[in-house]
Chain A
């Protein structure tokens, strides 16, 4: 060990070596590990006003997790159907958004990687990227303009004559799902694009020469090759849509809550920080489980996901 450090400093020099060490320690310990651990600790403690934090009344308790399960910290007779159903709906909706994005992005990524050429490919990529430089909230808001009862889509449908009354897309959550899918489309396209681009075209041509139909070419050659990209894209999209706050706040219908909105309310409205952090931790755990599941299903390593 001592040998290793001696080696490290001879290789980098004292000054640069110290800089690297200090920066990495600051980042890893004080910005990533300790805050997370402290949040776990905090979520396990009673909800007392800030001046008493760390005092005698700040005891360890499971009440916030119990509250999430049963709706009250004392009795365990009935489940907290409101919070739990919101949690379940958030996770399901995030999975749904991920699937939509996958279906949308795979053809686009394949087209970009193997069909489009030169300037047009760049134009396509650029027109995909540019909307993402606009603020997240403005993007969500533009979907509200599109899908509102007096919005563009309703007016177009009414002009064509498909519907005779404006359809409330916001109430039916159509606006929310499409807004979320659109918001994270890039995170799905680029990993898949990177994966497909490295595929040797000769393989596709060989399969075609052998008389394979187009769907089998995709199923047997392109899809397996794009697997790491699909895995990382799905993970990112799932994480971000499950943890999204802006889009549900702007686009969510009156009857639908997102789990992050409950966390936000616990912090801002009911001033129960401990419960908020307990809920945030549950969300984090759900996300970690999803990532592990994806890694198991697609048999890829974490290093390949975060790229």
Chain B
């Protein structure tokens, strides 16, 4: 898919490959609707992070405090949004807040009917459950003794919360925020119902994909993938550093300074090398494309296409001419056959088989005639008629719609359809007596 972003063909595809181009990226950068959607999505994502991270944190802390008997019920309720289809969440949020709005007598342009507000609420419902799971797994390693010690030493509850619990949870908060943002950014099922008239990047993309598309979508995918790869690489490096630091600390603590140099440096990691290579290759090819003559290539492709179409038309004309000759010859033959018909029943085996159903011989003859269509005069007429018709129709189209990607296919298919029709007719005619 990423490759299609660099093909100059108007429809996103890999084959036939036309020209290597970066123009779809500039098309992407000028797409107003997409950019608005992107801005809205970023805004909603931030809102979701701000709402769902505290909710998830509270939910996780509460889980350790509710009574043993209530805990399974509590857990079932807060975890259920993950398992409920996103469509259902979107609908219920939309309906409920509309009701609340009516209850407060709010007008239609108050925040109860605002796509931003509804989307943030709707997405947070289930994203908070994700963040809660992140916090729960971190909290399992938390020693409550620390809190108790702080309280015993005279710290207030707020101080304990701020100075002990929050620093301990900091990595979890960071990863929960990233998770929440990403989940919000790519959510579609819930957003499509709650976003009313606000367009987010996913709704814009969905409408783009459904009603006409060009490779600027692929260009967007390339941008996202590259950003993702860079993000992944940075994350990996940071993780490596952290591991190395903790190792170092452990070794220093153990009084062992000798083995420090032994660990493999981070740049030997195959995963990192792979990511690095992909990014370099991507950026390199993009840069190359800018320096190569895109326009020249395009013109070349265009003339090449024109030439191919011309040749095809020529070939079709020649074929038709040949067929006309054959037709003329056969008409002569037909006349001859008709003469013979008067004398005997030669050449009319097909018709005989309809009537002589109990006779097996004609049924055996039928497949033989399938192999030689030229023997049947009525069929030849149909074939010629069809193919002449299609070439006449196609020729002007080919000239006018050079750029249309689907055209090639039509060219190839149309004559075939003629033959197919012809074959089918023939089959049914012949098969009817057989089935009897």
State the CA gap A145–B5 with chains docked (Å). Answer: 12
Query: Is the beta-carbon distance between B88 and A280 smaller than 8 angstroms?
Result: yes
Q: Write the nearest CB–CB distance from B64 to chain A, whole angstroms.
A: 10
List B residues 196-236 near A (Cβ within 8 Å). 201-202, 205-206, 209-210, 213, 217-218, 220-221, 224-225, 228-229, 231-232, 236
Query: Is the beta-carbon distance between B102 and A242 smaller than 8 angstroms?
Result: no
- Mask, A99-143, CB within 8 Å of B = 1, is 000000000000000000001101100110110011111101110
Q: Which of A35, A242, A281 has the most CB of B within 10 A?
A: A35
Query: Is the beta-carbon distance between B95 and A33 smaller than 8 angstroms?
Result: no
State the CA gap A284–B80 with chains docked (Å). Answer: 11
List B residues 302-340 near A (Cβ within 8 Å). none
- Mask, B93-107, CB within 8 Å of A = 1, is 101111100100000
- Mask, A45-81, CB within 8 Å of B = 1, is 0000010011000000000000000000000000000
Q: A138-B221, A277-B95 are in contact. Are A243 and B87 (CB under 8 A)?
A: yes
B residues within 8 A CB of A127? 274
A119, A133, A283: the one contacting B87 at CB < 8 Å is A283
A residues within 8 A CB of B83? 235-236, 239, 287, 291, 305-306
| Of B121-129, B350-358, B365-373, B384-392, the one with at least 4 CB within 8 A of chain A | B121-129
State the CA gap A16–B163 with chains docked (Å). Answer: 13
State the CA gap A239–B85 with chains docked (Å). Answer: 6
Where the two chains meet, the residues of A that have a C-beta atom closer than 8 Å to any C-beta of B are 4, 8, 11-17, 19-20, 23-24, 26-28, 31-36, 38-39, 42, 50, 53-54, 119-120, 122-123, 126-127, 129-130, 133-138, 140-142, 144-146, 148-152, 155, 235-236, 239-240, 242-246, 249-250, 260, 263-264, 267, 273, 276-277, 280-281, 283-284, 287, 291, 302-303, 305-307
Closest residue of B by beta carbon distance from A28: B77
B193 within 8 A of A: yes
**Contact residues of B: prevailing secondary structure:** helix
Q: Write the nearest CB–CB distance from A157 to chain B, whole angstroms.
A: 12
Q: Write the nearest CB–CB distance from B117 to chain A, whole angstroms.
A: 13
B8 within 8 A of A: no
B78, B161, B188: the one contacting A245 at CB < 8 Å is B188
Query: Is the beta-carbon distance between B84 and A16 smaller than 8 angstroms?
Result: no
Q: A24-B62, A250-B209, A267-B91 are in contact. Are A135 and B186 (CB under 8 A)?
A: yes
Query: Is the beta-carbon distance between B79 and A306 smaller than 8 angstroms?
Result: yes
State the CA gap A136–B186 with chains docked (Å). Answer: 6
Q: A135-B201, A135-B205, A150-B405 are in contact. Are A32 and B125 (CB under 8 A)?
A: yes
Query: Is the beta-carbon distance between B87 and A23 smaller than 8 angstroms?
Result: no
B27 within 8 A of A: no
B45 within 8 A of A: no
B26 within 8 A of A: no
B171 within 8 A of A: no
